[in-house]
């Protein structure tokens, strides 16, 4: 069954990533190694997952590439911006996520990936001190320079299409301001007026990407594309946007484990989450203003799965005001661990006749090892969405994200329940592939 509405994935796909740190260098190295047959892209849904299409006698389980035209790993060309001038090989070695034996076979290709000077404002990430930075007179100048970078990269690498993804640090928290972020007209005016409070550098990247016809993915919890002005721009230009914050470790566990408590109708009185991590991510999050951005994204997961108003007996007690369970998230910078994060969850539940029980989850994860396949999937699926003519917020990509974008101006709640998110993903692929989107979300 061929869907004529999807343009084929012909030619090179340029993936331009903001930030060439641990996640990005691990992602690029893995893709290049997989292309040579020297590594397996484990954890990537686009490369491994099979979903059912059709029912009864017509039922088949197909990989994504058999359902829809997906860009191949061989078609990808990598580019990046970073405040540090290290190339992808140096960055991969410095990050110490991968062993030398898993980097050296693609050293030549990685060395050719040299970061473009980043559009950067130290006020948004005070702990970073790179000198590979653009000289931008205004925020609008910043947009124009990024647009020029995208055009140049596309031409030099003979790319048919570009996808831009943010895998750089978490910026300080920017409160959505409905005098600035409400319409595209207001957003552009603020950029031109050099409003450095309401316009984060990440917004300039997103605006520039969309202006150049590239889908944009927000992999950090920054306020960037989750504002009405960006929704307006992406709809107007017919381009997909996705965000925010890669769902890698603790939040993945939460979005998959909370449904166990909810489905089994057990009560929850408190969920305490703490993380220890090193690397640049941990360093930046050690700054309270940056942690605030992260906290907002990590806290929202549970409340949309276990709802106090829907089940007051089960979820309506435990906090100071005794109207909801107590939920606390902490991140601690701990350099010895580097990229090897450790997430601890202490969960206080109760059962029959309110008798208390406890669950402890200890996830010793590797942040970049979990994030790399997400970055691949989000880029390939955003490219697919663009070719299928989908614009605006891509809710079907919520599966990969901690704080899925949603229209909060209309009171919409995001879907955070992992298995409902998976259903949304499968339905979208069926639909784009010309099959019936036949699974319901209760």
**CATH number of the domain bearing residue 24:** 3.40.50.720
pLDDT of residue 295: 76
Residues 354, 223: one domain? no
Residue 137 has pLDDT above 50, yes or no: yes
Residues 171, 231: one domain? yes
Sign of CA dihedral 411, 417, 420, 424: positive
Residues 305, 409: one domain? no
Tokens 């039922």 — which residue?
59
The CATH number of residue 306's host domain is: 3.30.360.10
Domain membership of residue 128 as a residue range? 12-246+369-432
Residues 195, 311: one domain? no
Picking from 98-102, 220-224, 249-253, 422-426, which range would have the lowest pLDDT averaged per residue?
Answer: 249-253
Q: What's the average model confidence in pLDDT over 418-432?
A: 97
The domain boundary residue, chosen from 311, 336, 366: 366
Sign of CA dihedral 355, 251, 200, 242: negative
Tokens describing residue 193: 């007026």
Tell whether 157 is covered by a domain.
Answer: yes
Residue 3 has pLDDT above 60, yes or no: no
Residues 266, 294: one domain? yes
Tell whether 7 is covered by a domain.
Answer: no
Total structural domains in the chain?
2
Q: What's the average model confidence in pLDDT over 119-130?
A: 91
Residues 340, 418: one domain? no
Tell whether 440 is covered by a domain.
Answer: no
Sign of CA dihedral 436, 378, 219, 215: negative
pLDDT in tens, 20-44: 999 999 999 999 999 999 999 999 9
Residue 288 has pLDDT above 90, yes or no: no
pLDDT of residue 442: 79
Instruction: Please provide the DSSP assignment of 61-129 as one string.
Output: EEEHHHHS-PPPGGGEEEEEEESS---HHHHHHHHTSS-GGGTGGGHHHHHT--PEEB---GGG-TT--
Name 358's bridge partners: 348
Tell whether 5 is covered by a domain.
Answer: no
Count of residues making up the chain: 442
Tell me what the pLDDT averaged over the chain comes to. Answer: 94
Residues 133, 20: one domain? yes
Q: What's the average model confidence in pLDDT over 266-294?
A: 84
Residues 240, 297: one domain? no
Residue 311 has pLDDT above 80, yes or no: yes
Residue 424 has pLDDT above 80, yes or no: yes
pLDDT in tens, 344-394: 999 999 999 999 999 999 999 999 999 999 999 999 999 999 999 999 999
Tell whether 441 is covered by a domain.
Answer: no
Residues 374, 397: one domain? yes
Residues 60, 19: one domain? yes
pLDDT band for position 298 (cuts 50, 70, 90): low
pLDDT band for position 2 (cuts 50, 70, 90): very low
CB atoms within 10 A of CB 211: 16
Tell whether 3 is covered by a domain.
Answer: no
pLDDT of residue 127: 84
The domain boundary residue, chosen from 366, 382, 416: 366
Residues 38, 54: one domain? yes
Tell whether 319 is covered by a domain.
Answer: yes
Contact 190, 199 (CB under 8 A): yes
Across the beta sheet with 240-243, the strand order is 116-117, 76-82, 12-18, 159-166, 216-218, 240-243, 392-393
Percent of the chain with pLDDT over 90: 87
Tell whether 79 is covered by a domain.
Answer: yes
Residues 85, 223: one domain? yes
The domain boundary residue, chosen from 332, 366, 400: 366
CA–CA dist 140, 125 (Å, integer):
20
CA torsion, ordered 181, 222, 23, 289, to nearest 10 deg: 150
């Amino acid at each position: 069954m061929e869907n004529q509405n999807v343009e084929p994935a012909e030619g090179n796909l340029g993936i331009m990533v903001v930030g060439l740190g641990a996640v990005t260098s691990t992602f690029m190295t893995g893709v290049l190694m997989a292309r040579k047959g020297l590594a397996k892209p484990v954890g990537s849904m686009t490369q491994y997952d099979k979903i059912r299409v059709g029912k009864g006698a017509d039922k088949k389980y197909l990989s994504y590439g058999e359902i829809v035209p997906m860009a191949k790993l061989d078609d990808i060309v990598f580019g990046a911006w970073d405040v540090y001038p290290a190339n992808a090989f140096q960055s991969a070695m410095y990050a110490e996520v991968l062993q030398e034996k898993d980097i050296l076979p693609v050293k030549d290709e990685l060395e050719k990936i040299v970061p473009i000077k980043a559009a950067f404002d130290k006020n948004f990430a005070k702990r970073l001190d790179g000198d590979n930075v653009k000289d931008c007179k205004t925020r609008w100048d910043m947009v124009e320079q990024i647009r020029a970078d995208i055009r140049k990269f596309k031409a030099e690498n003979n790319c048919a299409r570009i996808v831009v993804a943010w895998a750089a640090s978490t910026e300080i928290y920017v409160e959505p301001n409905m005098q600035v972020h409400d319409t595209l007209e207001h957003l552009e005016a603020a950029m031109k007026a050099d409003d450095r409070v309401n316009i984060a550098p990440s917004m300039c990247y997103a605006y520039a990407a969309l202006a150049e016809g590239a889908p944009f993915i927000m992999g950090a919890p920054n306020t960037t594309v989750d504002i009405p002005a960006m929704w307006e721009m992406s709809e107007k230009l017919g381009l997909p946007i996705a965000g925010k914050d890669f769902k890698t470790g603790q939040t993945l566990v939460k979005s998959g484990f909370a449904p166990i408590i909810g489905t089994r109708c057990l009560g929850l009185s408190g969920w305490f989450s703490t993380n220890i991590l090193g690397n640049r991510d941990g360093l930046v999050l050690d700054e309270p203003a940056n942690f605030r951005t992260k906290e907002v994204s990590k806290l929202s997961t549970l409340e949309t799965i276990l709802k106090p108003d829907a089940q007051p007996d089960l979820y309506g007690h435990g906090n100071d005001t005794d109207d909801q369970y107590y939920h606390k998230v902490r991140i601690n910078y701990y350099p010895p661990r580097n990229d090897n994060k450790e997430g601890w969850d202490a969960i206080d539940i109760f059962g029959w006749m309110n008798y208390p029980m406890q669950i402890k989850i200890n996830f010793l994860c590797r942040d970049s090892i979990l994030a790399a396949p997400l970055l691949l999937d989000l880029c390939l699926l955003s490219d697919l969405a663009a070719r299928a003519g989908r614009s605006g917020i891509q809710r079907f990509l919520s599966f990969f994200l901690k704080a899925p974008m949603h229209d909060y101006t209309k009171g919409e709640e995001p879907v955070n329940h992992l298995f409902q998110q998976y259903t949304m993903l499968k339905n979208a692929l069926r639909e784009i592939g010309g099959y019936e989107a036949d699974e319901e979300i209760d």
